[in-house]
Structure 1
Amino acid sequence: MESSQYLENIKSRLISSSAIAAFTIVEELDFGDHGYLRARVTLSNDDFLEIAEYFKITDNVVTTTRYRYQWMDCDRSTLRKRWDNVPHFPDLPNFPHHIHIEAEENVVSGYVLSIQELLDILEQEIEI
């Protein structure tokens, strides 16, 4: 798989996901064996989501290397959740992966998460 195919897969999933009402691609980078996607998303419950994922592809396996997915209320004033792997909580299990839940200071251990996996979570969490 090349990064162009992976990027198309993500965009197709954004179009077909029951959790997504609309989205705008902010930036898309395709370097063959690695890439980046950033988008702003309106969820089906009118909440706001900003997604950013750097990835690499080795032997047809996609690996998410850096990510930040921020889910806010519809006014963009209240954090619902943010998943990221910025290395600023070294004492958490699964460092650097963590989740901010409803507040910047409320942080729990997380795990590597791709945009595709995030959409699976959102489809479960948002009542449609």
Structure 2
Amino acid sequence: MIEDYFRQIDTLLAGASIVHSSSITYDKRSTYIGFIRGEIYFLGSCLHFREFVNVEQAPDRYMYVYHYQYLDDAFVFRYNNTPHFPDLPTFPHHKHEGSESNVVPATPPDLQAVLAETQRLITTSAP
């Protein structure tokens, strides 16, 4: 049920020590389908994300965006599955890395994987 998935996200964020605060909106569309929109704040940076997901079997993200940036709006990365790079081997899944124009193939991540990547970036850039 979609409520279980919503609770998993809350549990994930509650257990992530790098998270300073978050604002998440859950929109139940049916028993198994939901839309999630949120901002997760870290020290000096923020992850904006959206998922439109069906959890009837395994989570199937019909649409996702995970956009990570510094609080001064400097772009770090964005994963999404908007179908606008058909020549990539992972189409429609891709990652904008370092800049909007640098697009690379990417397997579809989930929020847990993106948080782990964010934590690595924060840890390696800390003084």
* TM-score under structure 1 length normalisation: 0.88
Distance 1:3 1:125 in 2: 30
Q: CA RMSD for the aligned pairs? A: 1.4
Q: What amino acid maps onto 2:71 in structure 1?
A: C
Q: Paired residue for 1:51?
A: 49
- 111-120 or 95-104: which moved more? 111-120
Q: Paired residue for 1:108?
A: 104
Q: Aligned match of 1:96 in 92, 96, 104?
A: 92
* Offset at residue 6 of structure 1 (A): 0.5
Q: Paired residue for 1:79?
A: 75
* Offset at residue 11 of structure 1 (A): 1.3
For structure 2, the 5+ residue unaligned runs are none
Render the CA deviation track for 1:9-32: whole Å, top value 9, x for unaligned: 10121122123111012x311221
Q: Aligned match of 1:66 in 63, 67, 70?
A: 63
**Count of aligned residue pairs for this structure pair:** 123
Q: What amino acid maps onto 2:56 in structure 1?
A: T
Q: Which consecutive segments of 4 or more residues in structure 1 shift more than 6 A?
A: none
Aligned to 1:119, the other structure's residue is in SS state helix
* Offset at residue 7 of structure 1 (A): 0.5
Q: Paired residue for 1:37?
A: 36
- Higher RCO structure (Cα 8 Å, ≥6 apart): 1
* TM-score under structure 2 length normalisation: 0.88
* Offset at residue 62 of structure 1 (A): 1.6
Q: Percent identity at matched positions?
A: 27
